[in-house]
Amino acid sequence: MTDLHTPTNPEPLSEDLLEVDEASELDQAHYNEELWFEVQPEQTGRRLDAFLAGCLRDHSRSRIQQWIAAGQVSLLNHAVTKGSQAVATGQSYRVRVPKPQAVEAGQPEAMNLAIVFEDDELIVVNKPANLVVHPAAGHWSGTLLNGLLHQWPELQQLPRAGIVHRLDRDTSGLMVVAKTLTSQTSLVRQLQSKSVFRHYLTVCWHRQAAGTGGQTGLMKGKVEAPMGRHPSDRQRMAIVNGERGKPATTHYQVLASGLLETQPVRLLACRLETGRTHQIRVHLQSIGYPIVGDPVYHLGAPRQAKPPIGRQALHAQGLGLIKPATGEPLQFEQAPPADFLA
């Protein structure tokens, strides 16, 4: 395996937090985002509104107080309506955050999109790295949605402009977008039934994680570990057990091995059964395969190695689905961009 290109600017951590690839969750995304926050020992005794303001830095304390008064915050499935009440270690608060409507968040913007396929039902886009999919806090413009609305104004009539799944900002590769409500409904159902084929390529550092029992030595395998937001760090996802963890399954296979800056790396193919936020990145890190260039999930990456790529080395290479109107199977492949492998 040869070297990777030197980094440009590292990715800021922002929009990927709202990236949700699971179709059932996308159906609900017009209404509320559900977040969980667990009180850590050093936070015990704080006012509830102050505690949540520290967790939700994109929102003002006064706005959070309004959500509390409106019953949008709960503890043990019971609404908490007093922001002045003190929080205690181990308590887990659920917050339902109202989201902006797509028509408000998305305005048409001229953009040079790489279109792989288009007909009267579907658009398949080769998304470049450093492109946010949907407007969110810190990225209200310059997103894929803005570009789609400029090229296809009729998408304004569809939920999320026809978007049915997402890629992280700095993950490149194939995405499908619906052009009609009928095709969007079909694609959502295909995602829910796990019949959409999604194949990824990634370059990972090869370090065995503690407690993996040697599983990182396997040439192929499956990671089944429930996921949710990190209990204390909203900037991250994590493997989470209990009611906050949602089922997540990633299949992987080692394609090649080599050295990168004298450190062992492997080229992996991954296939998703589910599509949780940051799923591949979290799952691979958990078995000792942190993705090269990942600025967040890099536990086990060699400390002395400089990031050889300005983003995580993750690319959505393959996409398979059923054409809604005819039932015809469609398969698409897209080679990684130049910055992925030299």
- The Cα–Cα gap between 250 and 253 comes to 10
Helix (H) or strand (E) holding 94: strand 92-98
- The Cα–Cα gap between 165 and 175 comes to 7
Q: What are the structure tokens assigned to 154, written together?
A: 């009729």
- The Cα–Cα gap between 248 and 269 comes to 17
Q: Residue 324's closest CA among 198, 191, 200, 199? A: 191
Q: How many CA atoms lie within 13 A of 231 on its CB side?
A: 16
Quick check: 113 and 150 in contact, CB under 8 A? no
Helix (H) or strand (E) holding 333: strand 329-333
Residues β-bridged to residue 169? none
Q: What are the structure tokens assigned to 288, written together?
A: 């000792």
Q: Is residue 13 exposed (0-12), middle (13-18) or buried (19+ Cβ within 10 Å)? A: middle
Cα-based torsion angle of the residue sequence 196, 200, 205, 208 in order, rounded to the nearest 10 degrees? 30
- The Cα–Cα gap between 237 and 230 comes to 5
Q: What are the structure tokens assigned to 166, written together?
A: 């997402």
Cβ-proximal residues to 193 (8 Å cutoff; 6+ apart), any chain: none
Catalytically annotated residues = 168
* 285-287-289 Cα angle (round to 5): 50
Cβ-proximal residues to 110 (8 Å cutoff; 6+ apart), any chain: 147, 150
